[in-house]
Amino acid sequence: METLTVYPENKEQLDALTAVMKVMKVAFVAHEEPEVYPDHVIQGVKDALAEIQNGKGLLPFTSAKDMLNQE
C-alpha cells in the first residue's frame, strides 16, 4: 500500500484530517515540525564553537566562587 504525506496549513486542517483518519480507522503517525532557530542564534553558536576550537573558550567552572571571580 502507498504512504501519503500531507501538509496541513493550519490547526483547523490538521484537526479535520485527524478526525477523518480516525473515523476511517486509517493508521497515522503525527510528527511535530522541527524547531527552526533564527539565523543570528545559529551564527552565535557557530562563532562560540569556533572560539572554543581556537582555544579562546572559557574553562569550566569548578565552583560558584570560581564563577564569581571570572573577569
Write the DSSP assignment of 2-54 as a string of letters: -------SSHHHHHHHHHHHHHTT------PPPP---HHHHHHHHHHHHHHHT
pLDDT tens per residue, range 35-52: 788 999 999 999 988 988
Checking if the pLDDT of 63 tops 90, the result is no
Inside any domain, residue 5? no
In a domain, 44, yes or no: yes
Residue 68, H or E segment: helix 64-68
Q: Is residue 2 part of a domain?
A: no
What is the structure's pLDDT at 32?
82
| Pairwise CA distance, residues 46 & 49, whole Å | 5
Question: How many structural domains comprise the chain?
Answer: 1
Average pLDDT, the chain: 85
Asked, for residue 60, whether it belongs to a domain, the answer is: yes
Residue 31: closest CA among 22, 20, 18: 18
Domain holding 18, by residue range, is 11-68
In a domain, 1, yes or no: no
Domain-located, residue 19: yes
